[in-house]
Amino acid sequence: DGGITQSPKYLFRKEGQNVTLSCEQNLNHDAMYWYRQDPGQGLRLIYYSQIVNDFQKGDIAEGYSVSREKKESFPLTVTSAQKNPTAFYLCASCMGRFQGATTGELFFGEGSRLTVL
């Protein structure tokens, strides 16, 4: 089945540690996104990528890093510089503008919940 797979579903981190959240999609989408979700704040964009080997900072990129070496994969690293990393992280993908996107539908993974101990 086509979709987006995020792992792990739950992750615990000690202060000062970097952690990497995995996001894999088999939808042949060019565009991929990382969002952070906190109660009452909706979805805030961390990073997005329109094509392989290219990515852009979103509204809250500080303390995070990404890579886009393969079309299918867009891992997010939460670094020790992120002051308050406890949150629910969502990865999403859609057809990109280089694919002549017409529907605009954004597909989400099931999320990863990160807790800092």
Partner 1 sequence: QQQVKQSPQSLIVQKGGISIINCAYENTAFDYFPWYQQFPGKGPALLIAIRPDVSEKKEGRFTISFNKSAKQFSLHIMDSQPGDSATYFCAASITGNQFYFGTGTSLTVIP
Q: List residues binding partner 1 (CB under 8 A).
A: 4, 6, 31, 33, 35, 40-43, 45, 48, 58, 90, 92, 94-111, 113
What percent helix, strand, coil does the chain show, rounded to 5?
A: 5, 50, 50
Minimum Å distance from CB 30 to partner 1? 9
Q: Which is nearer to partner 1, 37 or 67 (CB)?
A: 37
Q: Determine the 3-state secondary structure of 98 from DSSP.
A: helix
Q: Which is nearer to partner 1, 48 or 64 (CB)?
A: 48
Q: Which is nearer to partner 1, 70 or 97 (CB)?
A: 97
Cross-strand bridge partners of residue 92:
33, 108
Please state the φ and ψ torsions of residue 114, each to the nearest 5 degrees: -105, 130
